Amino acid sequence: MTTDASETQPTTSITTDPDTGVETGSPGATDPICSAYARHLIECFPRDAMYETSIAQNCEVYKSTALRTDGQPCADALDAYYVCISGLDCAELVKGEPPSGCQAEIVAVMAACPGYDGPNTDTSDSATDTAGDSDSSTG
């Protein structure tokens, strides 16, 4: 399934507590790009199946943060990155950082998102690392 990133808008409601600075949002992922991304990572890293919802939610938070930090071009670049990752063979994802099949998308994110430290692109260990929810010292 291919989704045109320019036609998809983030659908989560993310708010920031003014006292703590902690972001909160609606439970569950509703963004189709993030949901597809999470499903694909779990296909490739089945041992992390329990994290599928968290991976999708993290994707949505990254996109919402990118939109606030650097605007729509940054959010669109992240959409393209997540769509690209979702289209890679699992063998490509386990090779390591960064996934060579998505170099153009990574460069586009870096160019469009100068104020944003986005998701970890290390795919060498697990799906949770790829989603930026690192469980290792590399994330």
The residue ranges of every structural domain in the chain are: 29-130
Among the residue ranges 9-23, 40-54, 64-78, 79-93, the one predicted with the least confidence is 9-23
Among the residue ranges 2-6, 90-94, 109-113, 119-123, the one predicted with the least confidence is 2-6
Q: pTM score, two decimals?
A: 0.66
* Structure confidence by residue, pLDDT tens digits, 76-113: 999 999 999 999 999 888 776 777 888 899 899 999 99
Alpha helix (H) residue ranges in the chain: 32-44, 52-70, 72-87, 90-93, 103-112, 127-130
CB 112 within 8 A of CB 70: yes
Please write down the HEC assignment for all residues of 7-34: HCCCCCCCEECCCCCCEECCCCCCCHHH
